[in-house]
Chains A and B, each alone.
Chain A
Amino acid sequence: MVVVQYIEFIEVFIPLFIIINPLAIIPNYVDVFRHLPKKEAEKVSNRATLSAFFLLTIFILIGRPFFAVIGISAPSFMIACGLLLLYISMGMLSGDPPITRNVQMDSSSIVPMSIPLLAGPGSIATAIVLEDTYGSLMVFLALALTMLLSKILMDKSELIEKIMGKNGLNAWTRLSALFYAAIAISLITDSIQTIW
């Protein structure tokens, strides 16, 4: 019984970790917050991960009823998330991610560190899909672990950049862009099959 739950947890955690992808935001984080004192930088990472966690939790809890009330069916929402994710992944593949293109990095703001980098359209859609199959408790636990890991990775970002190298991080970004694109396509096609 415990083993089953353990395996289920892994099955929820890995897709969430891949789609939230804290490793891919490390280059941004290092660039902006290198100049801040350590305490300030930790404040930023705390706020980013906590607000992303709360936003995703809110979406898991009341996302479906909210969209039902304003007249959007779940497949339409999934397709929209898939389209936005596809747009993001195309930008990442060509080396010009749309998420950070037009925003100013600002340590007092939750944009873009928390949304849409940590809690993007892909994370929201994936969390809702996982909640459907595995129940909300599993998703909450996996989400909490992911955010905790993200916080640790962000705090140790300079070390990680040293280990993986600029090229290593860049390669990881391109690779995860490919994963994103595939996840986006699967979200879109699954939902189209549900509608038709």
Chain B
Amino acid sequence: MIITVLKGTFALFWILDPLGNLPIYISMIKYLEEKEIRKTLNIASLFAFFIFILFLFCGDLIFDYLNFKLEHIMVVGGMLLVLLGVDMMFGPEKEVLDYKNIAIVPLGLPLMSGPGSIATLLLISATSGIDIAIYCMAIAMVLQYFTYMGAKLIIRISGKNTLKIMGYIAALVAASFGVEMISRGLALIR
């Protein structure tokens, strides 16, 4: 059972990909105070947790009655990320990045709980049972939380220009992730 949990956790962490999301995350929180960062992360994690639980227990219900599938959420999440990328590259630097604005969307969904990770979780739950799925999800969430907490160190050691370049690359990464999600979603729908 431990091996199943470890395997599931690894798959989930791989899909959540907090390391790949770090540039996006860093350029979103670079102007926030320490306290606000913690608050943002807590809200985002709680929201992501809620989303996972919601889909784990009522996923089939939602998909049956509201008549959409995970693929459609994927396309929407991709569009959000593309808009985020445009905003990060051309938007006003500070105003967008109020912590109330970033905690739920885009940090909670689709970065900390995306359609990809929901699909992985549903797969784990279908193959090895819902209890295993919950363990995997909890461990992966904790790992993800600490990865994001550690990102503060990177901000502290990098200079102004480094952060600006990172923000620029992050905008490209966000837009590319968005396009990737849209194209995968559309391929699944087709």
Contact = CB atoms under 8 A, between A and B. Distances in A.
A124 interface: yes
Contacts of A102: 90-93
The B interface, classified by DSSP as helix, strand, loop or mixed, is helix
A10 interface: no
A80 B17 contact: no
Interface in B20-73: 20
Nearest to A195: B183
B177 interface: yes
Contacts of B120: none
A70 B172 contact: no
Contact of B20 (A70, A88, A99, A121): A70
B173 A103 contact: no
Interface string A62-102: 00000101111101110111011001100000000011011
Given A84-B85, A102-B91, A103-B93, A110 B179 contact: no
Contacts of A84: 85-86, 89, 171-172, 175
A110 B161 contact: yes
Contacts of B179: 76-77, 79-80, 83
A80 B93 contact: no
Given A80-B175, A101-B90, A71 B180 contact: yes
A109 interface: yes
Contacts of B178: 80
Query: Contact residue range for chain A?
Result: 20 to 34
Contacts of B148: none
Contacts, number: 77
A69 B14 CA distance: 11
A111 B160 CA distance: 10
Given A80-B179, A99-B90, A102-B90, A121 B172 contact: yes
B7 interface: no
A115 B168 CA distance: 8
Nearest to B15: A71
Given A76-B179, A109-B164, A87 B172 contact: no
A110 B82 CA distance: 24
Nearest to A104: B93
B173 A116 contact: no
A73 B182 CA distance: 12
A88 B89 CA distance: 10
B86 A87 contact: yes
A76 B93 contact: no
Contact of A80 (B19, B20, B172): B172
B176 interface: yes
B180 A73 contact: yes
Of B93, B173, B177, B179, chain A has the most CB atoms within 10 Å of the CB of B179
Interface string B159-190: 01100110010011101111110010001000
Interface in B98-141: none
11 contacts: A71-B20, A72-B173, A73-B180, A76-B176, A79-B176, A79-B183, A80-B178, A81-B172, A83-B175, A87-B90, A115-B168
Q: Identify the 3 closest CB pairs spanning chains A and B, nearest first.
A: A70-B20, A80-B175, A76-B180
